[in-house]
A and B are shown apart, each in its own frame.
Chain A
Amino acid sequence: MPGPRFVADPPEWTRRVEMGGLTALFHIPSGMTHLLAAPAPQILDVIANNPGDAAEILSRMTVDFDVDGGEDAILARLAELEASGLVSRV
């Protein structure tokens, strides 16, 4: 059974700057600043305006990014991103 599907805002709604291995992200609609570690920024990239569940996200990401921990790791990061308001369920 497919899991919950998540979507992120389009890239133009955020500003990002790499900072010594972390990503500082400014979310324009909320005015909030977030400091993200991989693979959170990569998850946002693959579901920006393009919803997916953990399995789909994993398959989109593994094209050019190794994800340790598989779907469980993706689900854990999605829960954090949802709590911080950067992704929502569809």
Chain B
Amino acid sequence: MRHEVQLQVGPVGFRVGSDWSAPIEALRALYEGYPAPSGASDFTVRLEAERPWRRWVRPSVAIRGDYTLPDAAPLSLEHGLLAAEMGMNLQMALGQKRYLLLHASTVEKDGRALLMTGHSGSGKSTLAAILGERGWRLMGDEFALLDPEDGRLYAFPRAVSLKNGAISVVAGIADETRLGPLLTGTPKGSIRHLRPRAEALERMAEPAKPTLILFPRFGRDLTPAVRPVGAAEVFVRLTQASTNYVALGEAGFNALAGLVQKTPARAIDYPDTEAALALVAELWAELT
């Protein structure tokens, strides 16, 4: 394609091509410091004009690649960075076969991983971003990669996607040079990306041992609380949080069952960030 960038994110290599230079320039700036894949890329994303003339006339970015959703709506060129991010997510969700992919955020400390999963709005991404700025290594805010062979979690430290209210919360504590442009009026509202700290990039190849599974629930009226979650419920919720559990078959079952059996799980309710961080610190101290 006319414009291209190659990025290594954890164990996955991406090649992102575009009909326009702007999304690639934005991606290069946001992903400054990420290595290029040492061999061939695992996935290709192509940002293409929906029709040839739409390169110039009301530019419209269609997200294509090795894996494409036929009904995906194109984005405007000013949201080209978001299109690239969505394209990379899509390749992972539809094409990842090596790892069990969990829709979850992960942070690490001392070789041990805290895995957070929950519905959109639960705060798992924001919590991971904040912990990543406060001494933890951010392993990923979107996907956790569980290796069926060794039961460890592998990092996928893409830029964190901060949405709406989370933007001001996290932008206030992270340094400005790692923040991408503010994208307003996207299908998901306002979005601003945050490149993880340098340590997260330098150590992206290091896996971690799953140590705690957390199901956060955010609500301004909630009283801070911790609840145990039964193994069977954890198992079912994680099968639902995985994009490729069924595709991996027996290997996926063994990996997930192993994770659930070996890793304690808790649900937490929290009304604000400070309450969540206090609960995480308390649980972590109990378990480690």
Contacts and interface: CB of A to CB of B under 8 A. Distances in A.
Which among A15, A22, A24, A26 has the greatest number of chain B C-beta atoms within 10 A? A24
Contacts of B174: none
Contacts, number: 37
Contacts of A33: 239, 253
A69 interface: no
Given A31-B246, A33-B239, A20 B232 contact: yes
B249 A24 contact: no
Nearest to B254: A15
Size bracket, chain B contacts: 10 to 19
Contact of B261 (A17, A21, A26, A28): A17
Contacts of A35: 232, 235-236
A13 to B, nearest CB: 11
Size bracket, chain A contacts: 10 to 19
B232 A24 contact: yes
Given A22-B232, A35-B232, A15 B250 contact: yes
A19 interface: yes
B279 interface: no
Nearest to A31: B249
A24 B250 contact: no
B257 interface: yes
B5 to A, nearest CB: 37
Interface of B: 230-232, 235-236, 239, 246, 249-250, 253-254, 257, 260-261
21 contacts: A15-B250, A15-B253, A15-B254, A15-B257, A17-B257, A17-B260, A19-B230, A19-B232, A19-B257, A19-B261, A20-B231, A20-B232, A21-B232, A22-B231, A24-B253, A26-B257, A31-B246, A31-B249, A33-B239, A35-B232, A35-B235
Interface of A: 15, 17, 19-22, 24, 26, 28, 31, 33, 35
